[in-house]
Structure 1
């Protein structure tokens, strides 16, 4: 399969998708921390790590309620994939899970780096989407982060998508994390086909079960008007079901990650510098000279040789091309 086809598939399958360096220490972090409930902490960690594995995924999105006059609900969106979720970093209170799509059969196997989810225990800050391809680093109050985990989701090129905080609850073999309301960009399934709303206002829920896990989304599609007003358009429910499987060969995905992991590590580091150590606000262009950032990053990742210094220079150059003033 050629690169054009793979990139098109990435745009089709990319979902809704914290940096590997933690945020800088603030004065609030310097205060003595309360005694950690190690039992609850370890149960939370076990639930997050349980999301790693080999899965068949079912994506199901259905608009349920029209919130604007004369709005007609769109047809449901349903698709599927086979996906490997890999733990790429585990520092105890920080866990990073990289999703890799491995599609097709033995005669036509293709691999696409998918979204990434980073989990931070009791985060001092998160990266929050603000609309119009803008993100902001936001402080989390001490009372809101005690016992909580942040989840920050990244797109296929490791650019940010959204971040939120919530707490895990445990009921027998089932663990559930529910976020506070979180803004996120339009999903790729609608990004190229709709312009009647600008942001999803979402409550995310991750439910880990013995069979796998489910990502539930309670979505409100909102219109961001030029005058600053925010208007609800429609309600939508999303249910992404990850079912563990043993009948699909993910070797190509593991091989891809082994070959390209050093490149993507440099990409994450470049984003870290901008998101956690740069100005509090970040804004990006969607396209530059008809280029898309994920296309440029995929092309660089597929280079057959790796030189760390050259990769840093290439990645920094591309990110600078797409950066704009907030």
Structure 2
């Protein structure tokens, strides 16, 4: 054991006084560490977004302008089960405006996965229990709760550092979907690391041109989303808004789950009848609260509203 520790120290995998860190956790201990790390993603944050292209195979490729942005984001745990944790994100603007943002569902040893193909279409993946043993799937959803991308990987807790990584295909990021037409798939290499004051979402992304002839690499970008904890007082309006809306959006998630679970492939269009999908669902939510619809009324109206956006 001492020889093994020496090798680990020399290779930088542990620190000299890290004997306890070389111990292999029992499955239930590892699972609890994973859950603690995932739940620590929730909180009140200032977020800084930084993306920039770093390389391209074509020497004549014109690199896009680096993207930088920031905002205040609240991440709230809305489902906390032994092997499933759901975190809803909300953007807060000046404590007067809230935007229901993205959602991340974490599921443990989950063989069900939807893989992005292209053109806002997904297909059901074929995972076995062996593929996902000890692993967590992160399922990312849009502001309208339609799927965005899903990837799976193992949480690591080495040397007191908590991290998780995966690689998967996704649609174009929102920051580029309305301005770029030269590629159609983003292969996301994602790494989450818990930090002292929040967490870092680091990305190595490949911009892919996918066609019947296969995939062609257009460019590679690096991305950093830094979540730094701040005082919750900025999020008073967001919390009040979510308290009134959360029941409706639970029904939206339920309807989407039924749609996704019943099909091996499906495709979503973001615009129908002159309205964007998220506009339709947000307006329906306001109407639901105003008219005090029941859960059954919500689900029936949500199903009807979604039909024009589902491509058969």
Alpha-carbon displacement from aligned partner over 1:204-247 (angstroms, at most 9, x marks no partner): 1111122100111110000123x343110000011000000117
- CA positional deviation for 1:90: 0.8
> Where does residue 298 of structure 2 map in the other structure?
311
Q: Is 1:126–1:138's contact at 8 Å kept on the other side of the alignment?
A: yes
> Where does residue 256 of structure 2 map in the other structure?
271
Distance 2:116 2:230 in 1: 34
Q: Are the structure 2 counterparts of residues 306 and 70 from structure 1 closer, same or farther at C-alpha, using a change threshold of 3 Å?
A: farther
Alignment counterpart, residue 65 of structure 1, candidates 44, 55, 64? 55
In the TM superposition, 1:181-196 aligns within 5 A as: 181-196=167-182
Distance 1:318 1:194 in 2: 29
> Where does residue 129 of structure 2 map in the other structure?
142
Q: Is 2:85–2:107's contact at 8 Å kept on the other side of the alignment?
A: yes
> Where does residue 154 of structure 2 map in the other structure?
167
Alpha-carbon displacement from aligned partner over 1:39-62 (angstroms, at most 9, x marks no partner): 110000000000010000000001
Distance 2:118 2:292 in 1: 35
- CA positional deviation for 1:312: 1.3
- CA positional deviation for 1:249: 1.7
> Where does residue 21 of structure 2 map in the other structure?
none
- CA positional deviation for 1:156: 0.2
Residue aligned with 1:269, SS: helix
Residue aligned with 1:186, SS: coil
In the TM superposition, 1:1-326 aligns within 5 A as: 37-105=27-95, 109-179=96-166, 181-225=167-211, 227-246=212-231, 248-276=233-261, 278-303=262-287, 304-307=290-293, 308-325=295-312
Q: Is 2:84–2:107's contact at 8 Å kept on the other side of the alignment?
A: yes
| Larger relative helix fraction | 2
Alpha-carbon displacement from aligned partner over 1:43-93 (angstroms, at most 9, x marks no partner): 000000000100000000010002235211111000001011000001110
Residue aligned with 1:250, SS: helix
Residue aligned with 1:249, SS: helix
Distance 2:170 2:145 in 1: 15
- CA positional deviation for 1:311: 1.5
Q: Which sections of structure 1, spanning at least 5 residues, go unmatched? A: 1-35
Distance 2:37 2:121 in 1: 31
Residue aligned with 1:46, SS: helix
Distance 1:279 1:117 in 2: 21
Residue aligned with 2:65, SS: coil
Distance 1:252 1:272 in 2: 29
Which portions of structure 1, spanning 4 or more consecutive aligned residues, are displaced by more than 4 angstroms? none
Distance 1:132 1:69 in 2: 28
Residue aligned with 2:117, SS: strand
Distance 2:310 2:57 in 1: 34
Q: Is 1:68–1:232's contact at 8 Å kept on the other side of the alignment?
A: no
